[in-house]
Amino acid sequence: MAPEGKRRWQGEGDRSNRASSNKRPARPGASSSSSAAPRNAYTPMFEQFRDHLDAHHDRRERVVKASRDITALSKKAIFALQRVRRLHPDLAPEVDREVGARLADIGRLLAGLAPELQGINRSRYGRVLFGLEELVEALAFRYYLQHQALVSPEETAALIAQLCREGRAAAAAAAAAAATKEGENEAAADAEVDAGVEDAVPTIAPDEHDYLMGVLDLSGEMMRFATTSAALRGQLARGEHDDDDDDGGDDGGNRTVVNDMQALASFFQMLPQRHDKSWKSKMQVLQTSVQKVERLGYDFRVRGSERPKGWVPDNADDEQPGSP
């Protein structure tokens, strides 16, 4: 037993000696506690790449977050506009106030994004700036309710630029108020000067994709407006000077929401058709919305001769003859 134990001890010693001899000697000047990669002539260049990618991802996250907020605020503005029951240049005061508050919040978000989306960055982050589509839809819907017309791309760009300027002015005014509250009069004066300079304020302009997709979505809101207003008022929505007529036709140049939606659909059908999934889906929704409103107009046309003008269903008409 002794010789065998001695051999086992000697073998373990030989293995430990071989393991220690295989270790690489430490380089002179290198710290044993440091695990960082060694620097060389290419290190500064790759550090610049790293900083550029970090800035890109941070900027992209800010754009995505702001786009989600813009989308949510635009939907709330559209929900408020759906409370309108007639086409008129003046919206109801409570609706106008709520829509104005939503657009003011959107303007502050756009003003914060605008400096980072100038030049090539506008196209670089165009795909994640999806909130502009919903904003175009809200602005186009409000414009239609007030003017019974389709807002042009130039007018849309001007409206969004105005939102950016107003948002920048509101942010500068808030900064001036905070500075005044803290007793920094000089900083407050500088902030007020910056708020008054509109020419230097960067803005965000919707591109062709944003405008077309936003107007395509407008058809769904027009269909909901037509259905609700017809159910509550007993006639199809039309301009304020055309309210005396109750049919769904195009007599004497009087336009109803049916005629407007048919014209909108024909405009998009004349455009060169795209083959991406989003375009096909929105075009199908447009056709479905037009068909629903056309059916509504046909019902008013056919039943108009059977019922008195301005008739709307009520509980009395639903009662059975034998009911008390």
Domain boundaries, the chain: 47-176+204-240+254-306
Q: Quick count: other Cβ atoms within 10 Å of Cβ 304? A: 15
Per the CB < 8 A criterion, the answer to whether 160 and 110 are in contact is yes
> Residue 150 CB: number of other CB atoms within 10 A?
15
pLDDT digits (tens, 9 = 90+) for 77-112: 999 999 999 999 999 999 999 999 999 999 999 999
Residue 246 pLDDT > 50: no
Give the Cα separation of 223 and 115 in Å (integer): 37
Question: Residue range 24-50: average pLDDT?
Answer: 72
At residue 245 the predicted structure's pLDDT band, cuts being 50, 70 and 90, is very low
SS3 199: coil
| Residues 148/255, Cβ–Cβ less than 8 Å | yes
User: Which tokens is 217 given?
Assistant: 């979505």
* 15 CA to centre of own chain: 69
- DSSP-derived 3-state class of residue 256: strand
DSSP letter at 240 equals G
Residue 203 class from Cβ within 10 Å (0-12 exposed, 13-18 middle, 19+ buried)? buried
Structure confidence by residue, pLDDT tens digits, 142-199? 999 999 999 999 999 999 999 999 988 888 888 888 777 766 555 555 555 454 444 5
DSSP 80-99: HHTT--S--SS--HHHHHHH
> Residue 210 in contact with residue 133, Cβ under 8 Å?
yes
Q: What is the pLDDT of residues 125-158, one digit of tens each?
A: 888 899 999 999 999 999 999 999 999 999 999 9
Amino acid at 267: F
pTM above 0.85, yes or no: no
Q: How far is CA 215 from CA 22, 137, 196, 293, in A?
A: 73, 6, 33, 17
**Rounded mean pLDDT, 260-277:** 92
Using CB atoms within 10 A of its CB, is residue 232 exposed (0-12), middle (13-18) or buried (19+)? exposed
What per-residue confidence (pLDDT) applies to 4? 52
Query: Which CATH number fits the domain 47-176+204-240+254-306, given the four candidates 1.10.150.310, 1.20.58.2140, 1.10.287.130, 3.10.450.50?
Result: 1.20.58.2140
- CA gap 129, 169 in Å, rounded: 22
Q: Within the chain, how many helices (H) and strands (E) appear? A: 11, 0
